[in-house]
Amino acid sequence: MADKRLTLDELIGELHSGMTIGIGGWGSRRKPMAAVRAILRSDLTDLTVVSYGGPDVGLLCAAGKVKRAVYGFVTLDSIPTDPHFKAARQAGAIECTELDEGMFYLGLLAASQRVPFLPTRAGLGSDVMVVNPSLRTVVSPYDDAEELVAVPALRLDAALVHVNRADAKGSGQILGPDPFFDELFLGAADRRFVTTERIVDTDRFAAEGPLQSLCISRLLTDGVIETTGGAHFTACVPDYPRDEAFQKEYAAAAGDPDAWAAFRQRFLEVDESGYQMAVGQADVERKARRAAERAGTTTGGTR
């Protein structure tokens, strides 16, 4: 049986400039951030990024990797908007396809079912139809004759998703409460890649979670990459929650070119193990700073 294990470098070798790449997760939750960071380090460019957008979209925009973003929103959840995406939009630096988030779901579903479109009411009357002039409606061939939006298939060249556990053959296990649309991202894509907190033997799955958590079948995967902490700083429950302190620093740095250069140098111009090490160090520094502040307060020191 095929062993689908890859390294992050091998994953990047499978991607090409100009590709349409779907990124799983939702907002700042269970994003394949290690894969995104690997794209940031690569010379890939001119990408169309399809995402229930979070910091994946923001980081790729900040690095100038994005030609077009396809999204219903871009949010950091606890911070309403991603400042890098915001800056790119306000500078007119990227092309955009903005869809109702339910239309987005149907676009992925249509692509994974190999039909050209799926009908819905969502979008009718809204500016989604105006800002995407290529969208068409379709009239029901039955007696009701309803006119509905024909959401075109969102076909992807490649998809990247992050799961809690996977085996070497490419089955994936999502232990958090929401599988989001990861299965459909994979189904909509020609090349399908799953990063995971841990590659385990298939016989471990049952001990890790119930059958329903085994929601990514190997029918949907071409490559599996072990990236422990690979969703950081987004949430990857139950393995870890969102790193709110780190996310705050990411967002704050966006407003200041010097701070952003320092953030990039420390966290993004290093490989994945360098990133994880820098995150650990930053956490230690943050805790020390807080302890010092507390001590300062109790002794009536600086405020």
Partner 1 sequence: MSAAPPPESGGSGDSGDSGVTRAEYCAVACAEVFRGDGEVMASAFGTAPALGARLARLTFAPDLVLTDGDAALVAGVPALGADIATLLLESHMPYRKVFDTVWSGRRNLIMMASQIDRTGNQNISAIGEWAQPTVQLVGVRGAPGNTVNHSTSYWVPNHSTRSFVEQVDVVCGVGYARAEAAGPSATRFHEIRRVVSNLGVFDFETPDHTMRVRSVHPGVTVDEVVAATGFELVVPDEVSETRQPTPEELELLRTVLDPRGLREREVRS
The answer to whether residue 53 forms part of the interface with partner 1 (CB under 8 A) is yes
Site residue total, partner 1 (CB under 8 A): 41
Query: Least distance in Å: CB of 147 to partner 1?
Result: 5
Tell me: does residue 152 bind partner 1 (CB under 8 A): no
146: contact with partner 1 by CB under 8 A: yes
- Would you say 32 or 72 has its CB closer to partner 1? 72
Binding of residue 210 to partner 1 (CB under 8 A): no
Among 12, 19, 45, 148, binds partner 1 (CB under 8 A): 148
- Burial class, 67, CB count within 10 angstroms (exposed 0-12 / middle 13-18 / buried 19+): middle
Between strands 117-120 and 147-152, the pairing is antiparallel
Here the tokens at position 273 are 């193990």
Piece in contact with partner 1 (CB under 8 A), picked from 14-22, 102-110, 271-279, 284-292: 102-110
Binding flag, residue 54, partner 1 (CB under 8 A): no
| Distance in Å, CB of 141 to partner 1, minimum | 14
Rounded CA-CA distance 288/291 in Å is 5
Q: Which residues of 223-257 are buried (b: 16+ CB within 10 A; e: fewer)?
A: bbbbbbbbbbbbbbeebeebbeebbebbbebbeee
The verdict on 67 binding partner 1 (CB under 8 A) reads no
The residues facing 195 across adjacent strands are: 162, 225
Q: Check: CB of residue 6 under 8 Å from CB of residue 160.
A: no
User: Could you tell me which residues are beta bridge partners of residue 297?
Assistant: none
Please, which residue, 156 or 200, has the CB nearer to partner 1? 156
105 is a site residue for partner 1 (CB under 8 A): yes
Q: What is the rounded (10 degree) CA torsion for 65, 66, 72, 73?
A: 50
Residues of this chain that bind partner 1 (CB under 8 A): 26, 53, 71-75, 80-81, 85-86, 89-92, 98-103, 105, 120-128, 130-131, 146-148, 177-181
